[in-house]
Structure 1
Amino acid sequence: MRTVELAGLTASAEGLGCMGMSSVYGAADWDGSVATIRRALDLDVTLIDTADAYGAGHNEVLVGRAVAGRRDEALIATKAGMDFSTGRGKVVLRGTPDYLKRACDASLLRLGVDVIDLYYLHRVAPDVPLEESVGALAELVEEGKVRRIGLSEVTGDQLRAAHRVHPVAAVQSEYSLWTRDPETGVAAAARELGVALVAYSPLGRGFLTGTVDVTGLAADDGRRRLPRFSEEAARGNAAITEAVAEVARAKGVTAGQVALAWVAAQSDRLGIPVVPIPGTKRVRWLEENAAALDVPLTEADLDRLDGLAAGVVGGRY
């Protein structure tokens, strides 16, 4: 597995998103998820991504147990600032320094570690100046509880403002063949400042693999609430998955591998490290995803895939 530098931290060029192991995508599988995280480390997939909001802390506990005894092999990224404790499906964005510092202490405890490698502000709270929130993260670095800081789903101006308070190692945003928002927003600022883009949902929440039947999603699957996963939108978006599948068939690989290879290939075009963090709770899919970075895409492939986003039916949310 290739590596990238995140402001002095060496991370794998592809990471593992752990959210779905605890929430959003159906029932949790503790043993299977632990095995998947440990297999990731075996494959040198070292960037392990979690958050305190995933499963109301369950996910951090899971990650902590999975990396126990192998802490030096993992680069643990977690987040704070999205509070779901007010009730199911209701989120309050919190960014006060006191809240973030207490959240960090709680995350350290759940993870069972002495320091968090990469600590993100999960979302910018509308009622707290961003500089105050970032200042709190900077103090956590000074206290030795955090190594590097990151931001999630921010604009270019927000990234610049935060970076003036403390260097930002990475911005995490949804980015894939069918979600290209960072290209017209935060990417330019990230390039100016030397900040990496960590791409979540690089498989379009599974849709780009061509294996998702939207009519068969479990009742508690969070994708049921997303416009792109309605039956009507899925019919319209089938042309996108077929185009990805055609490229995959020509190469003897899977559609998911092509989608991931496309995301990783955008590093050169955007001029910043782009690190996809596909999520899975199964070793089988982890191994398939990890092999995706070895899939060669020609200029013709990239040109063909580049225009698919223009045909997307349905918004992100």
Structure 2
Amino acid sequence: MLYFACFAVNNHTMKYRQLGKTDLRISEVSFGCMSLGKNQAENTALLRKAFENGINLFDTADLYQYGQNEIIVGQALHDVRRDALIATKVGNQWRQDGSGWDWNPRKSYILQAVEASLTRLQTDYIDLYQLHGGTIDDPIDETLEAFDLLKQQGKIRHYGISSIRPNIIREYASRSHIVSVMMQYSLLDRRPEETCFSLLEDYQIGVFARGSLAKGLLAGKPAESFLQYSPQEVHAAAEAIHACANAHRSPGQTALRFVLRHPAITTAVAGIRTMRQLDDCLGVATAPPLTDEEITMLRHALPLNMYDAHR
């Protein structure tokens, strides 16, 4: 993993990592936009403060809020567009009656959907276009034709996938030019460590970690079942996180630092909705790294989990 010089803005010092084989430098913590509310002024203030303090990647999807999330991001970042990196996703097609969505990885749909996303984002290109899921039965060659065509046309700079399925990740890593995989990863979900991380490192494909706070369970939310872990095991993990937190590193920052210590990770995509959450995420830049002893304690806080499907 390549690290770059620090970038200080408003007393925060953000660090950057190179995304795979690309020339993109991504902030260690990036902004997951799915959690944004409906107030455009509040959202704009959040997004602009994040950008001004060194967060340079903003992740959204055409699925979120029926496309309204892309509109929010596009409006907030319009005048800094060339410096902000925008990632969005495609593949989930809303039904006309709004009752839900259907999976659609067909080339014709992707070529149609990208135009709508470009309009909503107020841009003529997308920095990272991601397939929002995937199954082993998809027409993968057709999907890849669409992404490669969009790249040739200059409508997207790079493409990736958002998936937690090892069989899908293997297919795209070996058959395509993806530069990133977004997947869930935290102290409570270390499944990618089994095979996915090493595979993606071999292919020089960056990992965007989402869910690093495990729905807030690692940052103060009352314990409940999570994946195959019992509430008692979740509580033990949260207690370990809190034991590693100190005056210079909050529990949330500790959980994010645990994720960022893995060399496969390019960025931790944090779902941010409030100024307090944003400030905590910005503080990751100056929070001390975990010591070897702390990493060992966290890794032994509960049994390692593994994928039990789509292997």
Deviations 1:6-63 (A, max 9, x none): 22222212101010115xxxxx333222211111111110010000011110110000
Counterparts of 2:190 and 2:249, CA distance in 1: 23
Match of 2:261, SS state, is helix
1:148 matched to 2:158: yes
Q: Is the 8 A contact 2:188 2:226 kept in 1?
A: no
Structure 2 unpaired stretches of 5+: 1-13
Q: CA deviation at 1:233?
A: 4.7
Q: 1:156 and 1:191, CA in 2 relative to 1: closer, same or farther beyond 3 A?
A: farther
**Paired AA for residue 196 in structure 1:** G
Give the counterpart of 1:238 among 224, 228, 235.
Answer: 235
Counterparts of 2:271 and 2:124, CA distance in 1: 25
**Paired AA for residue 228 in structure 1:** F
Deviations 1:245-293 (A, max 9, x none): 11103x54210010001111112xxxx3431011112122112112214
Match of 2:18? 5
Counterparts of 2:109 and 2:83, CA distance in 1: 30
Counterparts of 1:173 and 1:146, CA distance in 2: 21
Q: CA deviation at 1:192?
A: 1.3
Counterparts of 1:35 and 1:234, CA distance in 2: 36
1:205 matched to 2:245: no
- Is 81-90 or 130-139 further displaced after alignment? 81-90
**Paired AA for residue 183 in structure 1:** E
Q: Is the 8 A contact 2:217 2:238 kept in 1?
A: yes
Match of 1:179, SS state, is coil
Counterparts of 2:193 and 2:99, CA distance in 1: 29
Match of 1:197, SS state, is strand
Match of 2:83? 73
Q: Is the 8 A contact 1:94 1:125 kept in 2?
A: no
Give the counterpart of 1:284 among 245, 266, 276.
Answer: 276
Which residues in structure 2 correspond to 1:237-276 (within 5 Å)?
237-249=234-246, 251-267=247-263, 272-276=264-268
**Paired AA for residue 238 in structure 1:** H
Q: Is the 8 A contact 2:136 2:167 kept in 1?
A: no
1:33 matched to 2:48: no
Structure 1 unpaired stretches of 5+: 23-27, 215-225
Deviations 1:52-87 (A, max 9, x none): 011110110000011011112211000001234367
1:303 matched to 2:296: yes
Q: 1:141 and 1:311, CA in 2 relative to 1: closer, same or farther beyond 3 A?
A: closer
Q: CA deviation at 1:156?
A: 4.5
Q: Which has the higher helix share?
A: 1
Match of 1:48, SS state, is strand
Counterparts of 2:170 and 2:232, CA distance in 1: 40
Q: 1:30 and 1:235, CA in 2 relative to 1: closer, same or farther beyond 3 A?
A: farther
Match of 1:284, SS state, is helix
Counterparts of 2:301 and 2:285, CA distance in 1: 20
Q: Is the 8 A contact 1:155 1:186 kept in 2?
A: no
Length-normalised TM-score, structure 2: 0.85
Match of 2:33? 18
Counterparts of 2:71 and 2:188, CA distance in 1: 32
Q: Is the 8 A contact 1:47 1:77 kept in 2?
A: yes
Q: CA deviation at 1:189?
A: 1.8
**Paired AA for residue 258 in structure 2:** W
Q: Is the 8 A contact 2:135 2:168 kept in 1?
A: no
Q: Is the 8 A contact 2:86 2:127 kept in 1?
A: yes
Match of 1:222? none
Which residues in structure 2 correspond to 1:29-178 (within 5 Å)?
29-85=39-95, 90-125=100-135, 127-178=137-188
Counterparts of 1:297 and 1:163, CA distance in 2: 30
Percent of aligned pairs sharing the same letter: 29
Q: 1:102 and 1:296, CA in 2 relative to 1: closer, same or farther beyond 3 A?
A: same
Q: Is the 8 A contact 1:178 1:308 kept in 2?
A: no
Q: 1:53 and 1:308, CA in 2 relative to 1: closer, same or farther beyond 3 A?
A: farther
**Paired AA for residue 280 in structure 1:** I
Q: CA deviation at 1:175?
A: 0.6
